[in-house]
Structure 1
Amino acid sequence: MASNTYDQLPTSLEEVVSLVLQLYRPGAQVSVVKTQETLHRLQRSPEGWRLANSLSNHENQEVRFFAALTFIVKLNTDAKSLGEEDVQALLTTLINWLIRCLEISEGQLVLRKLCSTLVVFFFQFSSSWQNCIKHLIYCVSVGSALPYESSQDAPDVQSMIQQLPDRKAVAIFWFASTLVEEVGKTDSNSMKQHKFHQLMLPNVDDIVPLISKYITDHNPTPDQANVRQEAMKCYQSWVSYSHRAFIDDGLILEPLRTFTNATIMCLADENLYEITMELLADVLSTYCKFFSEDDFQTLFALFNSQWAQERYQRLVQGDYDFDSIQFGLFTLAFGDATLQDLATRTEPQYQQFLTALGGLLGAEGYPVHEDKIFVPALEFWNAFVENMIDSIWSEDETSLLENTFAQMHVTQAIQKCWRKIQFPPSEIFNSWDSVDRTGFKDVRRDFSDLLQQFYLITKIPILDVFITLANKAVENRNWEELEASLFCLACFPDTIGDTEPRDEYLDKIFTAQIFSLFSTAPDEIPLRTMQSFLLLVDGYADYFEQNTAYLPNVLNIVFGTLASPALSYKASRTIQKLCSDCRKLLVPELDSFLKQYQSLNSNSSIDKHAKEAIMEGIASLVQAIPLDKLKLKPLDELLNFIEADIEECFRIIAFQATSEDTSGSAHMNSVTLTADSPALQLGLGALKSIIGIGRGLQTPHDTPIYLDEDEERSPFWTTGEGSRIQTRIASMVNRVYDVLGAHGDIVDAACHVWRQGFRELEPGAFVVAPAMIIQFLLKANFNTPRLGCVIGTACSFVTSHKSNNESGEIFATLVHWISQILQQQDQPSNDPEVAQNGIDFLTRLLSKQLSSLMSHQPPSSLEFLFFFTLKALAGTDPLPKSAAADFWSTFIGLPTQEDSAMQTAIDNVLQHLGPMLAEALIYNMGGQAARSELDKLSDPLKKLVTRQVRSKSWLEAALSGNSFPSDKVTTREKTVFLQKIMNLRGSRGTNHVVREFWLACRGTNFAYAS
């Protein structure tokens, strides 16, 4: 072909055929793209109709396929150009082609595409081909494309299909399936506009007899297997569509329900089993109202039949082939559809079926890895229990009796699950791939959800089930069963209410026997069993506050597990919880805890997370010491441990610096450390340990607060002996930060050290002088990693700071620092997190120390801060925008100031920036904001309308200005919006009006102006 073939359209049919063949048998990839472009241009050209018709008779199947595709392209692009005569002529052409294909036994590739073409024709000209299925059956029956009007005089469909050959019936099924599937995909607006549901009604009557012919046939011939499969697939498509019709218009396509019983019987046909099973399961799961009561009784009988029992037995005995799993899912779908009856009725058929559903939880093999039915079966039982919860509180005695039966079934199901969630031996579990290992752990979590839900029904007696199993496992030293039992018992702490007689049950599991076992045989006990024991102790740590006899034993066991890397983190968290809950009891043992930690720190490698948790636990004991001066010695010891880690960190860095630079001028700050560097991990661990101490020293939430106390607070922590601890903590944090502050995790951890003191209402080791906080914050600049976290710390400081004579100077310093950072950032979008936190800082300052902001110098810097918030308000980043909305809502809503100069300054800001604020708000409400942002943006608008007399003119100018983003609303609609806003004067209705206007500006609220 000539080199310019792709620049101009082919001039002969032979050239087109050559291009089509090249497309479907490509050589170089570049030519495929060019060929596609050329052929697509050809399809869209005025000659496309004629080309498609010409190619439809070609001897090559791929060319004929392209012909059908060309008809589809033309119908989708140029259908409106056809007159009524052209439409009927096109329909005749397509149907004649279909008949010709059937006569020559055309392959599926072309025949299916041609059926799709006829469906596209229906969508374009549905009013001209309403009874499309009957007309198509009529034409195919007589072997000629008769005019559509002639179908009115055609025999009834039942008569026509009697002599219809199977191969022609298959084509009808393909067309009918594609038709209803495409209608089902139609969006709601198009569905209503074209009344597709109403158009489908007569077609249901026409397709049902043909489907019924093959589904209800009790003596099919072997060569009818294919046509019967297509009939069932077609039926599935129409039933699926019927759900959409029911939801949209409440239409019940009754003809489709006439042979549901026969459909169920098709399960016995091996050729139809898979399709029928899928259809029935889908209907049961999504549209069970489609089935009648008789259908449900037929299904109950089916599940009791020998056929079903054999399949059930194969499944529970470990047959997980596709058809077996499909049967299991079908069984569960029937359970979902009859859930309410299963939970409340006691007839034998319901009880038997519940037993069978419980039996699916006991199928052979490990869940996920082998047993593929366990997960969906567990989902059913979760749904079953949720349904019980919804109905359990009925006062009807009969319902309560029936629910007792349901509880019995759930209890049996739980016992089966208990056995299934037991971990396999480590060598087996570790041989699984990561997906199966994760899936197995997910199963255990899902089972814990079931237990917590069932607890709401049975209350605390459910614990007895697992206490009995655990004690039996202890006697037999069956570690897998013990682990599963302890895991189940550990599911309930957050669920058990304060009024439950919990300790009476826990007394039966926390016994000398179990503590002796875990004390004397630690090497024999598998890690997973020990993990579940730690989980149990952690969950019920407060039990030992009232039951102190075994507390020393528990602590010894838990400390003993810290040396194991696999257990150290969980053990450390358990120690922390025990210390926190039993702090007053354990204060006398504080020295022992410190010695225990020193021994562990010297003899084993405890990671930073474990150190943090243990430090927090020991610090909670320090917090419980009644006299502040007695807290100093143990705090010094804790800080000594941390200081040793810091020194080791610096030693490693100094050694590395010397190794990297032999000039003698090496500096620790010049050393490059990777994320897993031992030095970096030591430094980070040190800061996290300090954070742990800070958390442990915090006053417990249940400690009473005496708001009316007039006693002068002791200066112990501010200027007395305790100030030394504060200075020491600050020094350690600053030293680590100064060397390692280029790493984001270090910055984040250092900030969290200071935040530990912000929530405290009384002086303490972490309630440091503001000067220490300021000194740290001012070290950060625009290049500091995690800068947003640093500014967030400044925000928390502003909120927690108790104002005094020095507050003005402190806040003025911080405003200057924030201003420098934001000016370096320039645009809020350059770092949205920094912008959000910077604006949040300004907002908090408005109510805390307004003068520090309004007196900020120079004036150009103050002006920049206000303009920065306006840029954020008009920007696209959601977090800075939200913060800016809060800023302006707070600023506009400031109370009248006693200082007249201050009030004048506020008024001047609003008069100068009010028009720009209105413009930013209207820009968002004109369609630029996200819908979720509108309520937040409405707040400053409401304040502006109610507090500024010039707000109406500002908003009016913004609505008519060049920056208004939408062309979807008229001047009249803008006027209506403004009138409504002004009339509402900041009431709750403002939010609704804003949303309506935003929708109109987006072009999705056509009735706004009315």
Structure 2
Amino acid sequence: MAAAGQASTLGAAEPHALLDQAKNLISQLYNPSGAAPEHLKLVQERLQELQRLPQGWQLAQGLLDDPDSNTRFFGALTFTVKINQSWVDLSDESVAQLKEHLVRRFVALVDAQEKYHVIRKLAAAMVALLFRDESWTHPIQDLGAAFRNGAISQQSHTDFENTTLPSLNEAQITGLLCFSTTAAEEATKASNLVCRFSGDHPVAESLQDGLCLCNYVLRVLLQQISAGTDIADANAGHDALQSCRAWLNVRSSIHFSNLPKQQHLSSTTDLLVQCISVKKLSKTATESVAEMLRTENRLLTDAHHEYILGYLKSEAASELVQRLKEGDYDDDPMAFWDLLDSYTAPRNVKLISGALGPSHAQVLSYLDVLFHGPGYPGVDDKLSSDLLDWWTAAADDLQDGVDEGLQEARQNLANAVLNVYNRLKWPSPDESADWDADDRSEFHIFRRDTQDFLLSAFPTLGIELIDLFRQKAVTALNANDWTDLETACFCLAQLSETVDGDEEAVTHLDAIFSSEKFAVVCLNSDQLPNKTRQTLVDMLGKYQMFFEQNTNLLPHVLTFLFSALNISSCTNTASRSIGFLSKSCRKALVTEIPVFLKIFTEFQQSSAATTQSLERVVEGIAAVVQALPSEEAKAPYLDELLKPFFVQTASARDDAQRGDIESAHTRGHLALRCIAGIGRGLRTDQDGIIDLESEETASDDNTFWEAHDIQAQLCQCLMVYLDGFPLDHTIVEGVCEVLKAGFTEATGPFVLKPTNIALYLTSIPLGTAGAADITMSTASSFLASYQVTPMKIQEEAAVLFVHVYWAFSLMMQNAEHNDPEVSNSSIAFLARSLPKYHQVLFALTSAPPPPASHIAAALNGNSQTAPVLQTILNFVTNTLGSQEPLPLRSAAQFWSGVLNLPSSTDPLTNVSRAIHEYLPSLCHVLVTQLSGRCARSDIVHLAEVLKKIVFNFQGQARPHLTASLASVGRPNDQSLPAETLAKENERFLAMLVAARGGTSTTQEIVRSYWVKCRGAGFAYT
């Protein structure tokens, strides 16, 4: 019968029929015979339905008695399910019967040499019973007695260790260990389980019994070995060691309030430690002792540590070290490494400083020998990463100082640095040809982690490290050993931040960079392998300060960096280094501008050129151009630098006109990014920062550039993108980045006339996807750049405000155009402009001039004639009452700013008149929102507006607030009498007034009111 039809009458079926169905399903599950995964999933679901039935107890019993081992396994599983799901249905008598049945079946199956997975699953069912039956305090002893007597004996606790255990055969001992280990492991998973009566974990009494069992087995095995008896099968010993480990985990992970005396614990520790030297038990014992060293070291005595040390120095240990060195990473050698690591890590400083004496010399030698493994770290050598971690921790700890032996510690640490250095060497293409992605990743991780090691070692070894890598680099240069040169440069790059300003370090670096061979390499870099070139490029960029102090070296260094641009694997790194060095050393490089421009012209034609690399390179060259003494000297170079991107812009326009939008966007993005990069490069050097707070700047005359063809071309370029070009967010962002490049400067080709800037910004439709945020933030930056002299750009500010007005008008007229991003960014722009430009905004009390063509087209001829200020304030107030979180918060910020303006209380100002006009609607919106309508997260923002109204306009606002409170119904208080509500509203207002503008107090009052309106279910904190 198909699985789909077997559960239709489950509830009405007889137990034997259910049993037959279950056996059939189990047979399908374990003998799929090409069945589809969907069918097997259905089979599993049907079996789970059977397990949940009331007849599941009989079903479990029948399955456990079946001749088939898979069926018996499922029977044991069903008992676990029923115990966990239907325990409350059992009486005390039923529990006792269930316990006796499970114990009898367990004993019988063990004696019949049942398969391990069935024994383990039945043990899990018995443990589930143990966790619920609070009367079962000594299950291990009871089970041992059952093995001996055939049933649970009332006298099972008389002498478990000396009577019960010796009477059991090996199979019974193994079965008992299986149950004991299962109980311990399940207890660790359920560490928070507590018995109702004892107040302790259900295995509290079993801990001692479990250790007693382990001790008995290990003691017998060790006695046999001591007597010279050959142990053919050490499985019981391994099981005992695993059980020891499980019970020790129980001890460390569970808090026992009434932990019994652990007379067996010291014996367990003794036996565990002794087993590490028993060959057939060594791996399992070593794993347990290593874990004990990490987590339960207080259980180990000095004698135990001496024994472990003796084992680490033994011939067997030396053999394992040799196997590790030869690349044997099987279980036994790796378990030994785990023990070595656990033993040495807590005493690393004492070990490398010699404080532990000659007895540990051999152990220390392992930490040197093991670095000489086969192949490459992470690929062939699986241990170097662990060794690197060990030495990094040792170097870190050594920074805390040592009482004695510092010189020896320095020698050992220096030797470790050499070992790491030799493992860093980059493989040849042939060597790495067979590496997969994981191999490459592991090797890269090892090299990356080396930086932490070198930085940790530097405080102890100091300039000695730089000297070492200098020697390696010079030797490699002289020998044309490019692999070793790459390694030395890699190490020097990691230490760049530690040596800035150190004169001795400068001397060592000078020995490399000033050498004739290095100059030859820079000028003839084709001989370098790509990886060596890439690492050298990266290193040069990181020693920016050195080259600032040694500018005579810059020409051939930058020549090398420019040549590396054409190598695709080096392009990004080289462009970044060129950018760093050009900016920081600009004054020393002005004579090289023609060379740089020539190389740049060649690079932009290269297939390796990317938008990012071109942007970095032109920014660096522009920074050097900026260092020229006069504007006249800069102009021809800037013209040459900008011209290719003006050409790209023209090509982008042509592509757009042909309908090739993707190509147009690609070209436009490249051109704008690079033009903006040039603008950033032209920003004044830090040594000559322009004081933007000064109203009188000697060099604020920009007539040279305003009359120059370069600025005219720049403006034409921008208009290409703002007049019919298919805009997307990347183009809009590029235009804005070009504009912002001049905001920090007083003069220069990127310092455009305010009128033009306002024109460009208002030419960007705010509805363009992703455009509103960047456009309005750029508008804010523009206004902020004139914050000292805002009167100079009042007309431009008004133009921007009118642009926002048209955006609001469009959204108010047509819901399809309502965009939270546009609302939020526009209102946030208005809020940021208030401190310096509020007079401009509040003077816009008349209708605007006709809109630009792209706005008129969007309005479909329905241009509003409402005054600008009225439309803006209406929109912001309506937004304050919306459910969109970001626009709402910007609206709250706007009104908070308006209410806080110095002129807000002067009745003769436009600001005051506007506040007086909008106070009723503002109060109504706030009360409506705070009466349970707004989200909890918006309360703090709305409360800020309410606080300013109450504090600054109490007399005017009180009647409006009272009326609003009376008109707004509370969803949670509809049953209250009107008189009661009126009193509560008056009390709420009185509390707000009494808060006197205190932020935290006002917020707490408002929050309590919101909760009362919304309902107690929302009163979480």
Match of 1:367 in 2: 377
Measure the CA separation in 1 of the matches of 2:632 and 2:259: 77
One-letter code aligned to 2:145: Y
Offset, 1:434: 2.4
Measure the CA separation in 1 of the matches of 2:375 and 2:83: 55
Match of 2:141 in 1: 134
SS of match in other structure, 2:430: helix
Cα contact 1:694–1:753 (8 A) shared by 2: yes
Correspondence for 2:243 among 217, 225, 234:
234
Cα contact 1:561–1:567 (8 A) shared by 2: yes
Number of residue-to-residue matches in the alignment: 955
Q: Answer yes or no: is 1:841 the counterpart of 2:829.
A: yes
Match of 2:114 in 1: 106
Match of 2:23 in 1: 21
Offset, 1:420: 0.9
Match of 1:901 in 2: 913
Cα contact 2:212–2:264 (8 A) shared by 1: no
Match of 2:446 in 1: 443
Deviation track 1:818-873 (CA, whole Å, cap 9, x = no partner) reads 54687799799x98876765564354245454567777848576444445466566
Match of 1:784 in 2: 769
Correspondence for 2:617 among 611, 614, 617:
614
Match of 1:379 in 2: 389
Offset, 1:556: 3.0
Offset, 1:616: 1.0
Match of 1:810 in 2: 799
Offset, 1:215: 2.6
Deviation track 1:666-708 (CA, whole Å, cap 9, x = no partner) reads x33x2242xxx5x654433222211221221122345455477
Measure the CA separation in 2 of the matches of 1:356 and 1:981: 77
Question: Any residues of structure 2 matched to 1:276-355 within 5 Å, and which?
Answer: 276-339=285-348, 341-342=350-351, 346-348=355-357, 349-350=359-360, 352-355=362-365
Identity, in percent, stands at 27
Cα contact 1:6–1:34 (8 A) shared by 2: no
Distance 1:6 1:529, change over 3 A: same
Deviation track 1:128-171 (CA, whole Å, cap 9, x = no partner) reads 2233333333333322034xxx3575334443212222222223
Measure the CA separation in 1 of the matches of 2:964 and 2:235: 70
Match of 1:166 in 2: 170
Cα contact 2:194–2:202 (8 A) shared by 1: no
Question: Any residues of structure 2 matched to 1:966-977 within 5 Å, and which?
Answer: none
Match of 2:981 in 1: none
Deviation track 1:98-133 (CA, whole Å, cap 9, x = no partner) reads 2222233322233222111111112223x2223333
Cα contact 2:537–2:577 (8 A) shared by 1: yes
Q: Answer yes or no: is 1:204 the counterpart of 2:207.
A: yes
Measure the CA separation in 1 of the matches of 2:314 and 2:301: 20
Distance 1:5 1:522, change over 3 A: closer
Cα contact 1:819–1:865 (8 A) shared by 2: no
Measure the CA separation in 1 of the matches of 2:814 and 2:395: 55
Match of 1:143 in 2: 150
Match of 2:746 in 1: 762
One-letter code aligned to 1:186: A
Cα contact 2:51–2:82 (8 A) shared by 1: yes
Distance 1:457 1:725, change over 3 A: farther
Cα contact 1:261–1:298 (8 A) shared by 2: no
Offset, 1:491: 1.7
One-letter code aligned to 2:9: Q
Measure the CA separation in 2 of the matches of 1:248 and 1:214: 29
Match of 2:267 in 1: 258
Measure the CA separation in 2 of the matches of 1:77 and 1:997: 45
Question: Any residues of structure 2 matched to 1:491-502 within 5 Å, and which?
Answer: 491-498=494-501, 501-502=504-505
Offset, 1:994: 12
Cα contact 1:483–1:533 (8 A) shared by 2: yes
One-letter code aligned to 2:319: E
SS of match in other structure, 1:542: helix
Match of 2:526 in 1: 523
Distance 1:910 1:46, change over 3 A: same
Measure the CA separation in 2 of the matches of 1:880 and 1:552: 53
One-letter code aligned to 1:449: D
Offset, 1:730: 3.4
Correspondence for 2:96 among 66, 85, 88:
88
Match of 1:49 in 2: 57
Distance 1:101 1:995, change over 3 A: farther
One-letter code aligned to 1:260: T
Offset, 1:754: 2.5
Q: Which moved more, 1:239-248 or 1:362-371?
A: 239-248
Measure the CA separation in 1 of the matches of 2:364 and 2:943: 54
Match of 2:367 in 1: 357
Instruction: Report the TM-score when normalising by structure 2.
Output: 0.82
Distance 1:131 1:413, change over 3 A: same
Measure the CA separation in 2 of the matches of 1:373 and 1:921: 62
**Structure 1: gaps of 5 or more residues:** 393-398, 655-666, 965-974
Measure the CA separation in 1 of the matches of 2:518 and 2:241: 63
Q: Answer yes or no: is 1:60 the counterpart of 2:68.
A: yes
Measure the CA separation in 1 of the matches of 2:217 and 2:936: 61
Cα contact 1:17–1:63 (8 A) shared by 2: no
One-letter code aligned to 1:353: V
One-letter code aligned to 1:560: S
Cα contact 2:120–2:182 (8 A) shared by 1: no
Measure the CA separation in 2 of the matches of 1:560 and 1:338: 50
Distance 1:597 1:380, change over 3 A: same
Match of 1:924 in 2: 936
Question: Any residues of structure 2 matched to 1:176-255 within 5 Å, and which?
Answer: 176-186=180-190, 188=192, 190=193, 198-216=201-219, 217-218=221-222, 219=224, 222=231, 224-245=233-254, 255=264
Measure the CA separation in 1 of the matches of 2:695 and 2:603: 45
Match of 2:862 in 1: none
Offset, 1:5: 4.2
SS of match in other structure, 1:454: helix
Distance 1:75 1:424, change over 3 A: same
Match of 2:847 in 1: none
Cα contact 1:56–1:64 (8 A) shared by 2: yes
One-letter code aligned to 1:258: S
Cα contact 1:95–1:136 (8 A) shared by 2: yes
Q: Answer yes or no: is 1:512 the counterpart of 2:515.
A: yes
One-letter code aligned to 2:591: P
Q: Which moved more, 1:303-312 or 1:43-52?
A: 43-52
Question: Any residues of structure 2 matched to 1:378-527 within 5 Å, and which?
Answer: 378-389=388-399, 391-392=400-401, 399=402, 401-498=404-501, 501-519=504-522, 521-527=524-530
Measure the CA separation in 1 of the matches of 2:600 and 2:616: 12
Match of 1:396 in 2: none
Q: Which moved more, 1:861-870 or 1:478-487?
A: 861-870
For the aligned residue pairs, the C-alpha RMSD in angstroms reads 4.7
**Structure 2: gaps of 5 or more residues:** 30-34, 845-866, 974-986
Match of 1:968 in 2: none
Measure the CA separation in 1 of the matches of 2:298 and 2:1004: 38
Instruction: Report the TM-score when normalising by structure 1.
Output: 0.82
Match of 1:585 in 2: 588
Deviation track 1:372-401 (CA, whole Å, cap 9, x = no partner) reads 111122122222222223x13xxxxxx254
One-letter code aligned to 2:741: Q
Measure the CA separation in 2 of the matches of 1:788 and 1:194: 64
SS of match in other structure, 2:513: coil
Cα contact 2:705–2:748 (8 A) shared by 1: no
SS of match in other structure, 1:128: coil
Distance 1:707 1:891, change over 3 A: closer
Offset, 1:470: 0.9
Cα contact 2:740–2:781 (8 A) shared by 1: yes
One-letter code aligned to 2:163: S
Offset, 1:986: 5.3
Q: Answer yes or no: is 1:635 the counterpart of 2:638.
A: yes
Q: Which moved more, 1:254-263 or 1:689-698?
A: 254-263
